Structure 1
Amino acid sequence: MNAVPRASRLWLRALEAVSSIERGTELTFGGVLNDLADQYGAAPALIDDEKTLTYDALARLANLYSGWARQEGFASGAVIALLMHNCADYVAIWAGLSQAGCIVALINTNLTHTALSHAVRASGAKAMIVATTLQENTALLAAECPELLMWRHGAGEGVWPRVEHALTESDDPKRPHAPITNDRTALLIYTSGTTGMPKAAKVSHARILQWSYWFAGLMDTQPGDRLYNCLPMYHSTGGVSSIGAVLVRGGSVYIRRRFSAHRFWPEIVESGSTIFQYIGELCRYLLQAPSQPLETKHQLRLCCGNGLHEKVWRRFEERFRIPRIMEFYAMTEGAVSLYNCEGRPGAIGHIPGFLAHRFTMVLARCDTETGMLVRDEAGRGMVCAAGETGEALGRLDTKSTSPARHFEGYTDTASSEAKLARDVFTTGDLWYRTGDLMRRDADGFYYFVDRLGDAFRWKGENISASEVAAIISGHPGITDAVVFGVHIPGQEGRAGMAAIAVEANFNLAALRQHIYKNLPSYARPVFIRLCPSIQRTSTFKLAAGTLAADGYSNAPLEQLLYDDRVLQDYTACTPATLTEIASGTRPV
């Protein structure tokens, strides 16, 4: 075995880990927690500021929530929304509720008002558990949805009953409503995608297990590992796959509510963390922070994540003496994933020859203006050559028992159908469209290029331009609004920019208040362009192409405003402002 290259050993370990996971069986994550409790008992599993849940305590708490769901009479398939900050109980709640046959919608804690109402409505939730500290965010939701049953979690004053006080022991706490097959939906996780408003992606019990054991193999997790997790737990990486990868091997997770560059290295060292789950933006923040002695005194053996650009990768690895970095590409709802086990800086993944039959992904030629796949005279798709940019497609197999070969879709059927392409290369084939543009080099490594459609990535989050535009357009005095992402030198992803046409009596300060009230911080446009009018296409759609091409650097200065978060106002841009933004001396 020692003669096998390290990357190949990791691949083989991952394949072995998921070999027994098949759709349609009764193996679920909640059931696995009970087995882990039997195996690891008093060992720490989840650690936050307030408590440590051992494996015994985690399984017991999950079973209590499962019993609570039965006691409250939630039918199998009932949706319960979960709005909570990162904490140890978070995993126990979704694991327990899903084991009882419920579907748990993981809600973004940054959402308020309109955006929050949309997310909960899209899930079809019958009930909601909200952190006591987040009750104020739900005022509009509670008024609009009086039929929504509400509980709160955590100490403090509140209107709704505390869910912890309703938990009672059961004669048989491990018993779900009825035997659950793991092809059923366990979670709803929201994604912007590339086709408009945030969509609730279905995540089955089988996919949760697939993620957990696959990453356990690739990360080679062991009982002595401790994961430092500051990523939002309402996302699949921060709340499911990375945590699952450590737990199924008996390790522990050190949970932080949010990322802090100042506290990062002291917490890494104090906690004895061996794995850090990153997004590229966090690595860049750490590089921008002043040097401190503890930054090389850590026990980290692996940093795993996505969005790490080549230059940042090399500097991060060298300055902080990181033994191994594993970049990957995956989508909550998608049937496409890539893994860079070889450690090539800048690459999002590589498919070894001996695994080509399992990773049925191609890069197909795509018209970036229309978003349509390019087809030849026979109506067939065209595969990109090495070095050519194309859209990543993943082949689906509805007959396969492997969770990785299925697209489980969204709660909205039309949105699910929009992600599928049929008869692309052969009659009857079925492909999942990622909406992501990539290129493959001569060595078979893949590199992310950009996103198709109306989505872009900023501050580690996928942002739907059409959603932001809809929120802006809902403000009085706006006649037209288009939103797009713009590149800022030295920044990861693309910052939001809104081009708007307004009425004569328009109130700019009121617009900023509206945006700050209804959009999370990362989705708020950095730039506003005040246009006399916005051109429309022949089909009456707003034409954003020219405006997006201008970006902020080529827009007329008299039309350009910058969201100055120090002055808390939109201020006019000057040449000096643009220079400071480009150099990184003015924060965005």
Structure 2
Amino acid sequence: MSGLELAVAGLAGSQLLDAKYHVKEDFLLMQKVLRDAIGYFYNVARSRASYWYYFEAACLKYPDRTAIAFPRPKKNPPPIRTDMEGNKLYDNQFDLETYTYKQLYLMVLKLSYLLKYQYGVTAAHTIGVDCMNKPLFIILWMALWNIGATPAFLNFNSQGTPLVHCIKIASISQVFIDPDCSGPIKETEEQINKELPGVQLHYLNEEELFRVIQDKATPKHRAEDKTRRPEDSDHSCCLLIYTSGTTGLPKSAIMSWRKAIMASKLFGYIMKVDKESNVFTAMPLYHSTAAMLGVCPTLFAGGCVSVSQKFSAKSFWTQARLAGATHMQYVGEVCRYLLNTSPHPDQLNHGVRIAYGNGLRKDIWQDFKQRFHIEGIGEFYASTESPIATTNLQYGEFGVGACRKYGSIINFILSFSQVLVKMDPEDSEEIWRDPKTGLATLAGENEPGELLMKILNPANIEKTFQGYYGNKKATSSKIIQDVFRKGDAWFRSGDLLKMDQDGLYYFVDRLGDTFRWKSENVSATEVENELMGSKTMNQTVVVGVRVPKYEGRAGFAVIDLTDEYKSKPEEALSMIYDHTIKSLPKYAVPQFIKFSDSIEAQHNHKVPKNQFKNQILPLGEDGTDVIYWLNGNRYEKLTDESWAQINSGTYKL
């Protein structure tokens, strides 16, 4: 064999090896991690842990590039036009707003002046942001980071006791409120004033505010570096994002500067977000997916963040086209909603090449890519409070459905810090421990196990896992020790995953009493507490049940009515709805209700819930169950006919 033939054979062999083990990708990613980590920790040593410095650098480097695009819904839209084939065209329903980095930077500095000198905001304050997806949210967020204050992103759907709790637990001193989503907080204002009299609520006039911060005469304020919390380290809190967690009221998860910066550097790199990218998100900015993995990487790179005020399956692709998107964010439900829409010209008349998010089901993965001509799917696994994420940028056929896909080198490195542990067969929520050693063991191939992430310094856990603000009990519940050896510590994800023979990770299910519905975590315990507040029942159990063609699990409540209401269930249902719609977010209100004469608890006073999670709809296993479903604003009997309408999509849950 000649030298040339040997070279060609060697090249072919190396290409086959790389295709199987992703050696080149792993090597480049490791280089990126090392280089970015060194650069960031150098900045931390210079008292520049804050994301602000990276945002400011992008504004100064790319002054004329578009930073934000916003298809703003028209207040009085004209009639929707149709094309020759009868497709509804949504172009005339929006006015496209764009802001360059120079314009964004100036607006941030001018709003910073107002916040500091008109509202007295300082670096010592935690400030509530109650806002829909729009430029106002991002401008307010960056202005608070300029000053050094800590933003707390409130879910604008929250009201009543959960909202008061969110404000209280984070020690929020002022809340800035978007007029387009002020209803729930106005409904709760009396309760806030009574329980938290020191909290100031500011209902913004968006149009007037934008006039002021775009006025040349308005002063600017670029905070001095020495006032922007220069003592912050990489693990210091940069903002608070609320998560329902597994039980009880919402918890304020601490986002660290390291998380914001490394999400920007590494996650953005993996998802191919650069200065030419335009990332379109209709996911709520108060969630970490849109905020930490959408806005932060894009502004860091000098790209454009495009935001939709709220998700609409019908106009999604029109908005993406108007904004000029190259990337889009999703949660699993979004992809199914889009697939369920009628064909539309804009579903192919767009520039989106990569869709990234979490929860895209394997059964629709390829259908989604093919119908909308998406080249790559960036599926990841993470939770709001998780110290790290897993990623899978998937092209072609390999890796469909996985939430972690790396080469053999990175898989080997991660095997020391990310593991799946065997679960107790007698208690699916507990990790199995060897009776002789008391230590855990790894889950087998394709065996579901809880994902654990290693705490590098068990003596100083907060440097790896910051936990929940003002809630030590909830924070400590996410840490498990003495797992593989005495003295070690690991973060508990609370989720079951499995690993296949290729080292790919797949999401399986959630542990505990939390289930996911409408892209939100629903706490069964919280729903049970609110149901009891209707004063119609002795006891209730809430679980999530699967519904065909819907992502996640729908709320299913089994209720033991009091003697007074056993003979008048319709009245009880009306009272239950009237109470829960006021005390719970809409997504947490039970979709199905079943009455039971008795709900038996075990010897430990806990009701075994697994028996309810496999409820067969619509009429139970023997066809005699009477189940009610939430049809709009009232509960009515679930019949074969109504169940068929739900399955066909005619009726919406």
* TM-score, length of structure 1 as denominator length: 0.91
Change in 2 beyond 3 A, CA 1:545/1:172: closer
User: Kindly tell me: are residues 370 and 388 of structure 1, through their superposed partners in 2, closer, same or farther at Cα, counting changes over 3 Å?
Assistant: closer
- Counterparts of residues 97-112 of structure 1 (less than 5 Å): 97-112=144-159
Q: Is residue 388 from structure 1 mapped to residue 441 from structure 2 by the alignment?
A: no
What CA deviation, in whole Å up to 9, does each residue of 1:248-295 have, x standing for no partner?
A: 111101111111111112222222211111111111111111112221
Partner residue of 2:230 out of 179, 191, 209:
179
Residue aligning to 1:11: 29
Matched, 1:436 2:490: no
Query: Which residue matches 2:67?
Result: 45
**Is 1:303–1:322's contact at 8 Å kept on the other side of the alignment?**
yes
Inter-CA distance 558–388: structure 2 relative to 1 (3 Å threshold): closer
User: For residues 7 and 89 of structure 1, do their structure 2 counterparts lie closer, same or farther at Cα, with a shift above 3 Å needed?
Assistant: farther
- Which residue in the other structure is 2:631 paired with? 564
> 1:328: Cα distance to partner?
0.8
List per-residue Cα deviations over 1:353-386 (Å, max 9, x = no partner): 3223256110011237362211002000111111
CA distance in 1, matches of 2:248, 2:40: 33
SS of 1:371's equivalent? strand
Q: Secondary structure at the match of 1:550?
A: coil
CA change 1:392–1:63 in 2 (3 A) is: same
Paired letter, 1:102: A
Indicate how the Cα distance of structure 1 residues 441 and 26 shifts in structure 2: closer, same or farther if over 3 A, else same. same
Q: How many residues align?
A: 581
* Preserved CA contact (<8 Å) 1:531 1:559: no
**Structure-1 residue corresponding to 2:176:** 129
Is 480-489 or 540-549 further displaced after alignment? 540-549
**1:528 counterpart = 2:528:** no
Structure 1 equivalent of residue 549 of structure 2: 490
Residues 485, 36 of structure 1: CA spacing in aligned structure 2 closer, same or farther, 3 A cutoff?
Answer: same
Q: Could you report, residue by residue, the CA deviation over 1:22-56 in whole angstroms, capped at 9, with x for unpaired residues?
A: 36652311121211111001221012245433212
Residue 43 of structure 2 corresponds to residue 21 of structure 1 = no
Alpha-carbon RMSD = 2.9
- Is 1:357 matched with 2:409? no
Residue correspondence of structure 1 range 546-585 to structure 2 within 5 A: 546-550=611-615, 552-553=617-618, 554=620, 557-565=624-632, 568-582=633-647, 584-585=649-650
Shift of the 171–379 alpha-carbon distance from structure 1 to 2, 3 Å rule, reads: closer
CA distance in 2, matches of 1:18, 1:55: 26
Identity of aligned residues (%): 29
Larger Rg over CA atoms? 2
- Relative to 1, partners in 2 of residues 1:310 and 1:535: Cα closer, same or farther, differing over 3 Å? same
**In the alignment, which residue of structure 2 is the partner of 1:459?**
518
Matches of 2:208 and 2:421, distance apart in 1: 55
Q: 1:512 and 1:456 mapped to 2: Cα distance?
A: 20
Which amino acid letter does the alignment assign opposite residue 46 of structure 1? Answer: I
Shift of 1:180: 4.6
Q: Who is 1:189 aligned against?
A: 241
Using a 3 Å threshold, how does the CA distance of structure 1 residues 32 and 157 change in structure 2: closer, same or farther? Answer: closer
SS of aligned partner of 2:104: helix
Aligned position for 1:508: 573
Unpaired segments ≥5 residues, structure 2: 1-10, 73-96, 566-571
Give the conservation status (yes or no) of the 8 Å contact 2:536–2:576. Answer: no
> Tell me, which stretches of 5 or more residues in structure 1 are unaligned?
none
SS at match of 2:284: coil
Distance 1:389 1:77 in 2: 44
Shift of 1:577: 3.1
* Mapping for residues 17-416 of structure 1, pairs under 5 Å: 17-22=36-41, 25-49=47-71, 51-71=97-117, 72-74=119-121, 76-139=123-186, 140-141=188-189, 142-144=192-194, 145-155=196-206, 169-170=219-220, 172-175=222-225, 176-182=227-233, 183-343=235-395, 344-355=399-410, 356-358=412-414, 360-367=417-424, 369=427, 371-376=429-434, 377-398=436-457, 406-411=464-469, 412-416=471-475
Contact 1:7–1:341 (CA under 8 A) maintained in structure 2: no
Kindly provide the CA deviation profile for residues 72-92 of structure 1, in whole angstroms up to 9, marking residues without a partner as x. Answer: 444544221111101112122
Letter in 1 for 2:141: W
Q: Structure 1 residues 314, 10: closer, same or farther in 2, change over 3 A?
A: farther
* Contact 1:101/1:180 (<8 A) preserved: no
Give the whole-Å Cα distance in 1 for the aligned partners of 2:608 and 2:458. Answer: 42
Cα distance in 2 for partners of 1:94, 1:571 equals: 44
User: CA 1:195/1:521 → structure 2, altered by over 3 Å: closer, same or farther?
Assistant: closer
**Distance change >3 Å, CA 448–CA 557, structure 1 → 2:** same
Residues of 1 paired with 2:123 and 2:164: CA distance?
24
Aligned residue in 1 for 2:528? 469
Q: Residues of 1 paired with 2:535 and 2:461: CA distance? A: 50
Counterpart amino acid of residue 489 in structure 1: P
Contact 1:132/1:157 (<8 A) preserved: no
- Aligned partner letter, 1:354: I
Change (3 A) 1:269 1:170: closer
Tell me, yes or no, if the aligned pair for 2:130 and 2:155 is still in contact at 8 Å.
yes
SS in 1 for 2:635: strand
Could you say what secondary structure the match of 2:574 adopts? helix
Task: Quote the Cα distance in structure 2 between the aligned partners of 1:431 and 1:63.
Answer: 41
The 3-state SS of whatever aligns with 1:570 is strand
For the residue of structure 2 that corresponds to 1:535, the secondary structure is coil
In the alignment, does 2:504 pair up with 1:445?
yes
SS in 1 for 2:423: coil
2:385, 2:139 → 1: CA distance?
A: 22
Secondary structure at the counterpart of residue 438 of structure 2: coil
